[in-house]
Amino acid sequence: MKIITNNQYRPLLNFYELSLEQQSSVDWVDLEDREYSHFFVYKGYPYHTSMFLRTETPGWDGILSDSYSTGVLARLSKDGESILVGRFQ
């Protein structure tokens, strides 16, 4: 598996820290959960941390598949304030 990342951690955001356009793409989040939900933006698209499944891929915490052989990997920082993201092929 080839993993592509720039090794830059991205901040975790709540719903209200997203742009209005990004908010409209994740409007499925319940009103009472919006302030406490964790999002990050990768390649211009907002991802909710609950979209990821735990993975056994060494060095990574979560995985979100786009297809059988491509998708996004995520690793939470030690302080829990940011996330490292990469694509796999």
pLDDT along the chain (89 residues), means of 10: 94 93 89 86 94 95 95 96 96
Residue 83 confidence (pLDDT): 97
Domain count along the chain? 1
Report which DSSP code applies to 23.
H
pTM confidence score: 0.87
Domain extent, residue 77, equals 3-88
DSSP strand pairing (9-11 vs 3-4):
unpaired
Can you tell me the distance from the alpha carbon of 48 to that of 33, in angstroms, rounded to the nearest whole number? 12
From CA 76, how far away is CA 20, in angstroms rounded? 25
| pLDDT of amino acid 3 | 95
Separation CA 15–CA 35 (nearest Å): 6
Say if CB 39 and CB 49 are below 8 A apart: yes
